[in-house]
Amino acid sequence: MITFDKTTKTYEGGVTAVDGVDFTVEKGNIVVLLGPSGCGKTTLLRMVNRLETISDGKITIDGEDSMSLDQIALRRKIGYVIQSNGLFPNMTIEENVMIVPDLLGWKKKEKRERFNKLMEMIGLSGEKFGKRYPHELSGGQQQRIGVIRALAADPPVMLMDEPFGALDPIIREKIQDEFLQIQREVKKTILFVSHDIDEAIKMADKIVLLRGGEVMQYDTPSEMLVRPKNEFVREFFGKDRAIKSLSLHTINDLQEVIGLANMDETISDTITINVNHDLRNTLSMLLNQEADQVIVIDDEGNKLGAITIDIVQKYLHFEIKAKPTLVQKG
């Protein structure tokens, strides 16, 4: 758990980068710091592991004031991932990943086991990649290594500064999914900086939207999309925020609440869609009008019913707008 208590950062010369920020990242949650450039999100993140000093207020980590801890010990307890992955070119992949365990004095055997386990998590062979150097890996692989390096000593808290920002969209989405998968297993308390709204909606349990160092709104993604607290939030998420909010729900959610339409056996021009698809993509597919009827199937391929634009709209209207916090990510 990370708690910000009137946390403030003022630079010499009087520029305030972070202004009296108050919020708590619950244990096991991902909180995304979102906002335009210069809003103080990276500064705020870096204040947690004291790469930036705290001018006023405080930050507590699992109940302990971060200033009461030794700076080096504090950083070793906090996983840190940055955009350009920050891998050291003079070290092999294994050496890179095992830096913190090494600094903490783990035994060789423990390190080897941990390394192989972490590599398994991201679907790479420890045997094959361990002795290679960072430049011999693709950008996506390097970023994955950056993530498991932060996880190496199993820190309870992780800081991620636009970790997937430098990747191309397809790889980025894949790594986001993979990371959410890992997170379900490891349940870290994560503070995550992003400037990408879609990424924030996808990754976050809660979003902190910042402007000029101040918190504009701290809420779940769906609440923020459906009930923006002020004009800035409304504008930031854009006119398509209703559509964006659909990405938080799947056809399955819709089916449980309002049910699907009946299939019309007389229509032969049909395509199928998996029930776990999110509604935003589903809507895009419906708008493409590739077929006269879209049939929803489950993982086994059983036909569950048909889906139409009307149903999605109805769901949006009655469920999302009326009960914004109904669907929680888990």
Partner 1 sequence: MDKWMKFLEVNAPRILDLAIEHTILVGLAILVALIIGVPLGIYLTTNDYLAETVLQIASVMLTIPSIALFGVMIPVFSIVNQGIGFVPAFVALVLYSQLPIIRNTYTAIRNVNPEMRDAAKGLGMKTSQRLLRVEIPNAFPIIMAGIRTAVVLNIGIGVIAAYIGAGGLGVLITQGISRGDNYLIISGSIAVAILAMIADGILLFIQKRYTPKSIAN
Q: Rule CB under 8 A: which residues touch partner 1?
A: 49, 51, 72-77, 80, 82-91, 99-100, 103, 133-136, 149, 159
Q: How far is the CB of 13 from partner 1 (least distance, A)?
A: 18
Q: How far is the CB of 259 from partner 1 (least distance, A)?
A: 50
Residue 138 and residue 68: Cα distance in Å, rounded? 40
Residue 143 or 255 with smaller CB distance to partner 1: 143
Residue 149 or 249 with smaller CB distance to partner 1: 149
Residue 82 or 306 with smaller CB distance to partner 1: 82
SS3 (DSSP) at 51: coil
Residue 274 and residue 303: Cα distance in Å, rounded? 10
Catalogue the E-assigned strands of 118-258: 157-161, 189-194, 206-211, 214-219
SS3 (DSSP) at 130: coil
Q: How far is the CB of 99 from partner 1 (least distance, A)?
A: 6
Residue 96 or 222 with smaller CB distance to partner 1: 96
Q: How far is the CB of 153 from partner 1 (least distance, A)?
A: 9
Residue 316 and residue 275: Cα distance in Å, rounded? 17
Backbone dihedral angles phi then psi of residue 280, each to the nearest 5 degrees: -65, -50
Q: How far is the CB of 100 from partner 1 (least distance, A)?
A: 6
Residue 142 or 282 with smaller CB distance to partner 1: 142
Residue 49 or 245 with smaller CB distance to partner 1: 49
Residue 60 or 92 with smaller CB distance to partner 1: 92
Which residue has 């204040």 as its token pair?
47
Q: How far is the CB of 274 from partner 1 (least distance, A)?
A: 39
Residue 84 or 270 with smaller CB distance to partner 1: 84
List Cα–Cα distances, 164 to 47, 84, 121, 210, 279, in angstroms. Answer: 21, 9, 17, 20, 24
Q: How far is the CB of 261 from partner 1 (least distance, A)?
A: 52
Q: For residue 304, which amino acid is it?
A: L
Residue 215 and residue 212: Cα distance in Å, rounded? 8
Catalogue the E-assigned strands of 195-263: 206-211, 214-219
Q: At what angle do helices 139-151 and 108-121 cross, to 10 degrees?
A: 130
Residue 108 and residue 319: Cα distance in Å, rounded? 54
Burial of 123 (0-12, 13-18, 19+ CB in 10 A): exposed
SS3 (DSSP) at 237: helix
Residue 136 or 292 with smaller CB distance to partner 1: 136
The token pair at 209 is 């939207």
Q: How far is the CB of 150 from partner 1 (least distance, A)?
A: 8
Residue 183 and residue 124: Cα distance in Å, rounded? 17
Q: How far is the CB of 95 from partner 1 (least distance, A)?
A: 9
